[in-house]
Chain A
């Protein structure tokens, strides 16, 4: 699945990431993660949709672990983590052109995740101050499995998009049609569907980011 160029690029960057995280007990693990993510993203950006998807799939668990750890430390409930995972995935996706192929991918991803975390904490600080202390127990006690579904209400977000984008995203996500099927049904061309989905997602990412203000 991986292009050999991507693998080679990943191997040559070993030393760099190793240097960034020198002294850490998890260095070996970090390097192997870095290599894997970097190879997938490089090959994805070069045009392999399958590798790009695999990159996002690998990234999910890393982000989940990161946000759960950080939120627990600041006394916040873990379910918020899934919102952040999705917000970060959308940010990574819509800002993927800011990844400099010559640089390690882990610091880039970490910077985006950290930015989204700080943004989230800042946005929710005021509203959380209003929650009575005794409620905190309930929040923490919530089952983590439920959290795989985020509080991002896709229907509400979709409702705020222009009709074309709404239609394209609904067909592909909610009804699970392929691009070709969605195209025939709506009478739009395949590329128009793809563009609509792409723009719609960007708009949804922006709405999701500001939704708790």
Chain B
């Protein structure tokens, strides 16, 4: 085919659909919200709400966990809205994405330093570390699917590894919010290790899957 002919065809098909300039971030965030709704259903049905929610300490910790997971997911979404456009990887700052993790690690270090070393083991592993390790990545599949679909549909990322990693990170954040409703392990070191670690795992999985799933 001659390039001129192709240009003629492209020009002719253009008139049919005058392009608006859609807000990618809003569209992607909408699909993240859909994924979050799925996560909420899964968490309520499969895991259930923690039984001691009436107590002040439990509620404080629930809110703190939600805030951490929301910060992770929110930052990831913000940059996902940029990286979904061609060349958008130049406008992504991975240092800022890592800020919530750095913050929770510093808090965990303070928490450990103020406790007797004999308690460190329990503070780090809690009661249900295995459940956390399995649940967060498993639930994250739902927002991962909706976000991958949204990026494929609305965007055109040119750095698929980073785009995939950000999708994984956002999914991990959303999933951790769902798991927090159920989780009864209330120590900062636990959140740093098991929430941080599983979200990092989701990010890694996203980076590996991105080039396969989001190619265009």
List residues of chain A with CB under 8 Å of any chain B CB. Answer: 44-45, 47, 49, 52-53, 56-57, 60, 82, 85-86, 89-91, 93, 95-101, 107-112, 114-115, 119, 148-150, 152-154, 169, 172-173, 179, 191, 194-195, 197-198, 201, 209
Q: Is B184 an interface residue (CB 8 A)?
A: no
**Which residues from chain B contact A197 at a C-beta distance below 8 Å?**
9, 12-13, 16
List residues of chain B with CB under 8 Å of any chain A CB. Answer: 1-3, 5-22, 24, 84-90, 154-156, 158, 215-216
Q: From the candidates A47, A90, A114, name the one contacting B6 in the complex (CB within 8 A).
A: A90
Q: From the candidates B1, B3, B18, B86, name the one contacting A95 in the complex (CB within 8 A).
A: B86
**Which residues from chain A contact B85 at a C-beta distance below 8 Å?**
98-100, 108
**Which residues from chain A contact B21 at a C-beta distance below 8 Å?**
45, 97, 99-101
B14 touches A115 (CB 8 A): no
Q: From the candidates B15, B19, B87, name the one contacting A110 in the complex (CB within 8 A).
A: B87
Using known A-B contacts A115-B158, A198-B17, determine if residue A95 contacts B216 with beta carbons closer than 8 Å. Answer: yes
Considering the chains assembled together, what is the distance between the CA atoms of A101 and B154 in angstroms? 16
9 nearest interchain CB pairs? A194-B16, A111-B87, A53-B11, A111-B86, A198-B13, A115-B158, A95-B156, A111-B158, A154-B1
User: How many whole Å from B77's CB to the nearest CB in chain A?
Assistant: 17
**Which residues from chain B contact A119 at a C-beta distance below 8 Å?**
215
**Chain A residues touching B, majority SS:** helix
B7 touches A57 (CB 8 A): yes
Considering the chains assembled together, what is the distance between the CA atoms of A149 and B4 in angstroms? 9
A–B pairs, 25, beta carbons within 8 Å:
A49-B15, A53-B11, A53-B14, A60-B7, A89-B3, A89-B6, A91-B216, A93-B14, A97-B154, A98-B24, A98-B86, A99-B85, A110-B87, A111-B86, A112-B87, A115-B158, A119-B215, A148-B3, A150-B2, A152-B1, A172-B9, A173-B8, A179-B15, A194-B12, A197-B12
Using known A-B contacts A57-B7, A89-B7, determine if residue A107 contacts B215 with beta carbons closer than 8 Å. Answer: no
**Which residues from chain A contact B89 at a C-beta distance below 8 Å?**
111
**Which residues from chain A contact B8 at a C-beta distance below 8 Å?**
53, 173
Considering the chains assembled together, what is the distance between the CA atoms of A5 and B155 in angstroms? 27
